[in-house]
Amino acid sequence: MRRQSWMILAIALASGTVALAQMPTYNLGRPPAPDELGGSELAVSPSGKELPPGSGTARQGTPIYAAKCQMCHGREGTGGPYNRLVGGGNTAEFPFATILWDFINRAMPRRLPDIGLRGPSLTPDEVYALTAYLLFRNNIVKEDDVLDARTLPRVRMPSRSTQLDRLAPR
């Protein structure tokens, strides 16, 4: 009987701890401001139906890459302190070009306060142009191909498997 009492006490204490963990907030911190979210609420599917208006070409993306990307990814995108983006990098490994667009839009450039970058700060046109630039440098699109909400979902990525083809826009 004594052992059973200890077991009941242990279960009661454990339940109390779980209940306390479910309590309301502790009034610490604050909700992020919309500019701090940097558009992270937008997720772009393979169909691209969530893409915003705008457009860009690789030619337009070249100076944007030089100004905002090469410090981390190298002059030609072939390596720097961070990931290689051209010729064996992870750019061509995205199964859909819309997902590449979404990644650039949400996460680039990364927060680098020591050099003045505060996180995602690109316009939709700049994201389209950078996406086109990286796809061009990986021999997926031509330099003057215009990428926008209509054409980007149609880009055939080399890593897309036949299993993923069923998700692709028609």
Tell me the pLDDT tens digit for each residue of 132-168. Answer: 999 999 999 999 999 999 999 999 998 876 445 555 5
Looking at the domain assignment, is residue 13 inside a domain? no
Looking at the domain assignment, is residue 106 inside a domain? yes
Domain CATH number, residue 143: 1.10.760.10
Amino acid at residue number 139 = N
Query: What gap in Å lies between CA 43 and CA 31, rounded to an integer?
Result: 20
Looking at the domain assignment, is residue 8 inside a domain? no
Looking at the domain assignment, is residue 21 inside a domain? no
pLDDT of 118 higher than 70: no
Which domain, by its residues, includes 142?
44-165
Looking at the domain assignment, is residue 7 inside a domain? no
At 109, the pLDDT band (50, 70, 90 cuts) reads confident
136 vs 43: which has the higher pLDDT: 136
At 90, the pLDDT band (50, 70, 90 cuts) reads confident
- Quote the tokens at residue 157: 């990525």
Burial class, 81, CB count within 10 angstroms (exposed 0-12 / middle 13-18 / buried 19+): exposed
Q: What are phi and psi of 59, to 5 degrees?
A: -60, -40
Query: What gap in Å lies between CA 28 and CA 32, rounded to an integer?
Result: 13
pLDDT, mean over the chain: 81
Measured over the CA atoms of residue 167, residue 42, residue 132 and residue 145, the dihedral's sign is positive
At 11, the pLDDT band (50, 70, 90 cuts) reads confident
pLDDT of 31 higher than 90: no
**CA–CA distances in Å: residue 5 to residues 1, 15, 17, 36:** 6, 15, 19, 52
Would you give the end-to-end CA distance of the chain in angstroms?
70
Query: What gap in Å lies between CA 84 and CA 73, rounded to an integer?
Result: 6
Smallest CA-to-CA distance from 100 within 56, 31, 49, 46 is with 46
Looking at the domain assignment, is residue 31 inside a domain? no
Q: For the chain, how many structural domains are there in total?
A: 1
Helix (H) or strand (E) holding 104: helix 97-107
Query: What gap in Å lies between CA 152 and CA 168, rounded to an integer?
Result: 11
At residue 119, the pLDDT reads 56
Looking at the domain assignment, is residue 133 inside a domain? yes
User: What pTM was estimated for this model as a whole?
Assistant: 0.69
pLDDT of 99 higher than 50: yes
At 56, the pLDDT band (50, 70, 90 cuts) reads very high
Looking at the domain assignment, is residue 121 inside a domain? yes
